[in-house]
Amino acid sequence: METSEESEEVPGSRLEGEALHHCAQRGIQQNRAVLVMQKNQTLCFRGKCIVTCLYGRVEVMGFTIDEGQKSYPLFSPASHCPLTLRALGHTDYVRDDRTEASNILEDYLSAAASRKKLVKKVTPTSSIILLDPLDTPLTRFLSSFTHLSELFSPPVSELMSTVLDTPLNGLGVIPLASNIEGLKISRSCRDALSTVINACKGDIDGCAVILVYGVKNVGKSTFIRILINTLLNHTSNVDYLEGDLGQTEFTPPGCLCLSTVKEPLLGPPFTHQVTPDHMIYYGQSSCETDLDGYLESLKSLWRRRPQSREIPVIINTMGWVKGFGFQLLVDLIRFLPVTHVVQLSHGVSTQCSSLTPDFLRTAQGYQTHPTTQTALDEFTESHCPPKTYTHLHVQSEFEGVARQGTATHQRSNEHRELLLLGYLSQLQSDDSGPVRPLHTLTPYQVPNTAVALGVIHCEVAPSHMFYAVNASLVGLCCLAEKVTSKGGPVILSQATLCPCVGFGVLRGIDTARGLYFLLTPVDPSVLRKVNCLLLGAISLPSCILTEQPGFESEMPYVTADYSFDLTGAGKIRVFKGLMRPSLMGVK
């Protein structure tokens, strides 16, 4: 996505049906396809692939891929909106397009007839892209679970709109017909992106700090990905401060982190789980129980960022914009040197007050209060000018805005499960061999005198601690003080929020030898700094335990010896959507 004249999206035709047979050819010797696209032509698809721009330029999720750039992986699973590739053409200088295209195609298509067919489609504004199959430890690990085997296939609602029997289908790319809208970017969204990009490119005092807020399911994460990708067209790095505990971008849920983004985000969060520069494991998907801890953690992360850095910073926030949640937003804007505040809303109302500089002057925060100004202050040097920043409003217009998806893999709890599985996939080997279940991997043996055990989200009696942490996800944390043992396990009476370097699965405890058995993808050199294992409310996905191959009898950590006939033994059923009598006119 460009920020000049090309930011105005020109309607283009969707590549579908018979057109795909004329502009796409598949290599016979290698499983790859070459696709010729005209300027503003789009390809909306489900699946996964590696894309290389051979000629011209293409754009996906705001990121421009030019010819000569490296290849990029694209992920378009059924859990999120389908990706759309858009051809931008190439720069304006004159070139012999047919001859140049013919030379390029010789390297990728051995059949002369296929090359000749595609060369006829090439014009001065065409783009030629190469699509290769994508097979990674992540995709292999996810597909090993029964309920995720069709994750990269179209959902049921799109089956009638899939374009089958094209040169792309065999690569894992399933084109969608034009009745599937794909990602829709509103005019106000484009204007906001353009304003922020121009500010980052201009002579702004220091670096641009952009805070994004809005209600749940209004498109904050998608907007941020597009913004980061667009910024990466102009700068090599973008800093990202995570403030949304439930729907994190680069880590498992329950984390607050500061990351440096160097690569475009061309898929949902579970496809780009990386190690942040700094991270704190909060241990819950909401901060309602400890608002002070949430704010202090974000302030601590911000202080760790070098103040001399002049690259843009994006701040993500929760979808909690009422009551205390709104007060937290007020505090963040006051605490951090914000230059732009982007508010996303939908419909005719804004769902919450607009956090403009004027509104902030009298707003009540959770930790901060409005500044009191006397008449004398206007004539003294002690008067501090009010905080100024640019407030931008984005109106989301995509289908299903503000509603949580109801199809398989689209609910927020399923997104959190995918985040955890994406992180645990890092335990798999890069070799293209079979997936190794977690119980077949060799764990680290950690003496229980070397690390402390703690629970963040609730109180657990020391005698029950081993039961609580066994077969659980734990944060690998670094306490400031040294852990000292009196010859046995070290149990924290009160867990504190502290730096976290990653996560592990405590797959077993040997009380006789005093050992914890820990599975983690964290590098051994980093593990040496860990002196604390923290348990939070973030649970392992149930499929990790229930789908363990190779066991004929009872599976470890899973029991069937349980009576659901006992009162309170079954699952708590929450009946949502029931209207209160007062709202139905019943008194």
pLDDT at res. 1: 38
Interatomic CA distance for residues 61 and 72, integer angstroms: 12
Rounded (5°) CA angle 40-42-43? 160
Q: What's the whole-model pTM score?
A: 0.91
Q: How many residues does the chain have?
A: 587
pLDDT at res. 548: 76
Under 8 Å between Cβ of 175 and 15: yes
pLDDT at res. 4: 38
Q: Quick one: CA dihedral 130, 136, 138, 143, positive or negative?
A: positive
Interatomic CA distance for residues 329 and 201, integer angstroms: 27
pLDDT at res. 3: 41
Interatomic CA distance for residues 250 and 425, integer angstroms: 14
Interatomic CA distance for residues 265 and 224, integer angstroms: 10
pLDDT at res. 407: 74
Question: What domains lie within the chain, and their CATH numbers?
Answer: 5-175 (2.60.120.10), 187-395 (3.40.50.300), 437-546 (2.40.30.330)
pLDDT at res. 579: 54
Q: Cα dist. 341→19, 115, 283, 390, 577 in Å?
A: 43, 50, 27, 6, 33
Alpha-helical (H) ranges within 320-457 are 324-335, 357-362, 412-424
Helix (H) or strand (E) holding 251: none
pLDDT along the chain (587 residues), means of 10: 43 82 84 93 96 95 94 96 90 69 88 89 91 96 94 92 91 93 90 93 81 93 96 95 97 97 97 96 94 96 91 95 95 95 86 91 93 51 66 86 74 94 96 88 95 93 93 95 89 90 96 96 96 95 85 74 69 55 50
pLDDT at res. 383: 43
pLDDT at res. 94: 58
Tokens of 279: 């991270």
The single-letter code of the amino acid at 90 is H
Tokens of 402: 């503000």
